Amino acid sequence: MKRKRLSLSTTHIILFSFLVAIFLGSVLLSLPISSADGKATSFVDALFTATTSTCVTGLVVTPTVLSWSVFGQIVILILIQIGGLGVITIMSGVMMLLHKKMGLSDRLLLQDAFNLNSLSGLNRFVKKVVGGTFLIEGIGALLYMTVFVPEFGAKGIWISVFTAISAFCNAGIDIIATNSLCDYALNPLINIVTCVLIILGGIGYIVWWDVLRLFKLARKKKVRFFRDLTLHSKIAVTTTAILIFVGALLIFTFEYNNPQTIKNYTLPQKIEMSIFQSVTTRTAGFATVPQENLTNASAIICLLLMFIGGSPVGTAGGIKTVTFAIIITSALASIKSKEDTELFDRRLTRQAVSKALAVTCMSFIIMFVSTIALSVVVDANALDIVYETVSATATVGLSRNITASLDTIGKFIIIITMYLGRVGPISLAVALNKKKENQNIVRNPIEEICVG
């Protein structure tokens, strides 16, 4: 009798590849050489750090700047880069560097990893992704050096490289201080560079190439920039801009007279800090004001911004801007009794609407279950707990100061939440669904029900 051959789908392989990266990172971080004091780190803390790095979340149980040696920081940075680009992308990039031909299975892996609809031009796409990532991170590091090298000397070079990669990958982990970027809240260069890196990483690679396409096209003929963008890019750019602007405006309003955040600063400084807070909640995780000092109103706004996150096919987490736009537009279409969901004079497919709904529901379920579980083991304010679990689900990294106080069970709850948030609710649903699609399936009869 022949044994059945184990067959893994591309989604399963992606899920397992992140697990392997996390496990190897945990082993390396648990070694004495990785810790700042030369003593072995507990495997739970090493696992937590490896998970938050690979999942580019940024929640930490111990301050990164104090807890890890240079070797440990290098391991963390490699995990951040792997998490930002994706394990499959890194492997494919190495294969291309070694001039190894990619087979159909490898191309299917990449298609799933980037959530693309076509296999055409994948090799070129990966080359541009890897090259563009390193270029932008390099420019960011050079700009950071103008501040960090004069302040920290030669060590400032390493700090600049680490911060640039962490910002672009939307990780939010830094090796500068124990209070994130609070000491640089009023430094325009640090604020601008960090915000730009966060936005570029989170806007998605598809938008990059679409914008570059129009710039090249503009050399030959007149281009109506926004109008000539693809529908995906229009939705991603518009939603991102609206969320950043509205988020900054609301945070500015709610924090204006808060003495624990921005009350005692000048008007331009208040605007600067409000914009940074709005941008960093888009799954970046850097902080220029202590999150526990925010008013409840601002914290709730930040929860929504964190849950939405960045855009598809980028380094950010969350349900994604395009998903949010589709959900809102679809709801408005239903309210107006419209049969089709339309954006920018284009009809959206039913599959896109269904997927957006599935991603949102799965993310909410993960966040909700995680919140209940953490509430059982942590004695903290309800808002602080929700802030922690939404941050973990959307791989943001902002915390209202309870991560370090988590016990072993609490750490495992957040570890699982970060992993599920990173690999994607829809990927998890597909991976757990082992039933094969049957084209000749008999459909059940339809019956009307009452909704709402």
Query: Domain for residue 419, yes or no?
Result: yes
pLDDT over threshold 90, residue 23: yes
The count of domains in the chain is 1
pLDDT over threshold 90, residue 259: yes
Q: Cα separation of 202 and 198, whole Å?
A: 6
pLDDT over threshold 60, residue 395: yes
The pLDDT score that the predictor gives to residue 261 is 95
Tens digits of residue pLDDT in 292-310: 999 999 999 999 999 999 9
Cα dihedral across residues 189, 243, 391, 352: positive or negative: negative
The pLDDT score that the predictor gives to residue 430 is 53
Query: Domain for residue 327, yes or no?
Result: yes
Query: Domain for residue 255, yes or no?
Result: yes
Query: Domain for residue 281, yes or no?
Result: yes
Kind plus residue range of the DSSP H or E element containing 343: strand 342-343
Kind plus residue range of the DSSP H or E element containing 346: strand 346-347
Amino acid at 233: S
> In a 10 Å sphere around its CB, with 0-12 CB exposed, 13-18 middle and 19+ buried, how is residue 128 labelled?
middle
The pLDDT score that the predictor gives to residue 91 is 54
Cα dihedral across residues 66, 67, 72, 78: positive or negative: negative
pLDDT over threshold 60, residue 119: no
Question: Which of 262-266, 286-290, 335-339, 372-376 is the least confident region?
Answer: 335-339
Q: What average pLDDT does the chain have?
A: 86
Percent of the chain at pLDDT > 70 equals: 84
Tens digits of residue pLDDT in 352-384: 888 889 889 989 999 999 999 999 999 899 999
**Are 168 and 284 a contacting pair, CB within 8 Å?**
no
Which residue shows structure tokens 């090799």?
123
Percent of the chain at pLDDT > 90 equals: 57
Q: Cα separation of 76 and 26, whole Å?
A: 10
The pLDDT score that the predictor gives to residue 101 is 59
pLDDT over threshold 60, residue 112: no
Give the confidence band of 221 by pLDDT, cuts at 50, 70, 90: confident
Query: Domain for residue 23, yes or no?
Result: yes
Q: Cα separation of 359 and 308, whole Å?
A: 11
The pLDDT score that the predictor gives to residue 265 is 95
**Are 321 and 310 a contacting pair, CB within 8 Å?**
yes
Q: Cα separation of 433 and 211, whole Å?
A: 37
Give the confidence band of 117 by pLDDT, cuts at 50, 70, 90: low
Question: Which of 221-230, 235-244, 276-285 is the least confident region?
Answer: 221-230
Q: How many residues does the chain have?
A: 452
CA angle 284, 290, 296 (to 5 degrees): 95
The pLDDT score that the predictor gives to residue 145 is 97
The pLDDT score that the predictor gives to residue 434 is 47
Give the confidence band of 102 by pLDDT, cuts at 50, 70, 90: low
Which residue shows structure tokens 């609206």?
242
Question: Which of 37-46, 318-327, 413-422, 430-439 is the least confident region?
Answer: 430-439
Structural domain range at position 104:
10-427
The pLDDT score that the predictor gives to residue 2 is 47
The pLDDT score that the predictor gives to residue 182 is 93
Question: Which of 43-52, 93-102, 349-358, 386-395 is the least confident region?
Answer: 93-102
Q: Cα separation of 73 and 311, whole Å?
A: 28
Query: Domain for residue 436, yes or no?
Result: no
pLDDT over threshold 80, residue 436: no
The pLDDT score that the predictor gives to residue 283 is 85
Give the confidence band of 1 by pLDDT, cuts at 50, 70, 90: very low
Q: Cα separation of 335 and 341, whole Å?
A: 11
The pLDDT score that the predictor gives to residue 97 is 56
Quick one: DSSP state of residue 68?
B
The pLDDT score that the predictor gives to residue 93 is 58
Mean pLDDT score, 274-291? 93
Q: Cα separation of 299 and 294, whole Å?
A: 6
pLDDT over threshold 70, residue 79: yes
Mean pLDDT score, 104-133? 64
pLDDT over threshold 70, residue 178: yes
Query: Domain for residue 2, yes or no?
Result: no
**Are 128 and 101 a contacting pair, CB within 8 Å?**
no
